[in-house]
Structure 1
């Protein structure tokens, strides 16, 4: 499974009165990573895929440890966990660095493609689905002969 890697700088204004990055700021980090991820998925051949809008239908965040300000960026890894006809779920880990096991946040976002001109949600196109599937975890193969007793 491929993961999208985004290096997210920390800003002094991300800190709160308790000396760590405020919980709501993590939503901004996830947004930056998600936008970078979606634009990089867009084909360079002029295809309209991923050029329309999208809306966030749901966020889920687990805060695992505090993050204090530093000069080095954090790494946000993103991948797709679910593709439906008119939505997808993106999972994230906000990490100390690339390859690090130190995770500050685990999160997921349900994203709905949106037709801005029509003012309503739209379906994921086959082309978009093909791009997104590269970021799905590999499914274990099932030995069908072993299932037949």
Structure 2
């Protein structure tokens, strides 16, 4: 199963809860966005983004998000959610997610999210710090270079 998440530097394990099922007896579509959020926050923790936000008042704001449902997921199951940065600019990045079902041994869902850096004190868009950029690139050496102007 690890080959299904190759290229995803952060993998988050999430058990499917009974309450996440809908009337059609599979995980409700909105729940996947919570799975993506959990994986995104683990990625942020790995690069120290939330600690930096406390110090600088500059942090991530979700600009857009999407999901592609490939196979239904049912309870009981445990999901592995891979997360990575697909695009990186001076003030934003696009994350990609891939969800693998342990029970099915297959990819069930993929998704993406655009994250924009925002200075909450000044109420305006802001640049990623060089430290965050370095950490992202160290996790994914094949990540394209960042615009610096």
Higher helix share: 2
Counterpart of 2:71?
65
Aligned residues: 134
Q: Distance in 2 between matches of 1:88 and 1:111?
A: 5
Q: Kindly indicate whether the alpha-carbon contact (under 8 Å) linking 2:8 and 2:82 is maintained by their aligned counterparts in 1.
A: no
Q: Kindly indicate whether the alpha-carbon contact (under 8 Å) linking 1:112 and 1:121 is maintained by their aligned counterparts in 2.
A: yes
Instruction: After TM superposition, give the deviation of residue 50 of structure 1 in Å.
Output: 4.8
> 1:33-68: per-residue Cα shift (whole Å, max 9, x none)?
10111012118xxx9535443111111211001000
Bigger Rg, which one? 1
1:9 aligns with 2:12: no
TM-score, L = length of structure 1: 0.79
Q: Distance in 2 between matches of 1:11 and 1:48?
A: 30
Structure 1: gaps of 5 or more residues: 140-149
**Aligned CA-pair RMSD:** 2.4
* 1:2/1:61 CA distance change after superposition, 3 Å: closer
Choose which of 77, 85, 93 in structure 1 pairs with 2:82. 77
Choose which of 42, 47, 52 in structure 2 pairs with 1:49. 52
Higher strand share: 2
> What secondary structure does 1:132 align onto?
helix
> What secondary structure does 1:7 align onto?
strand
Counterpart of 1:128?
132
Instruction: After TM superposition, give the deviation of residue 126 of structure 1 in Å.
Output: 1.1
Structure 2: gaps of 5 or more residues: 1-6, 144-149
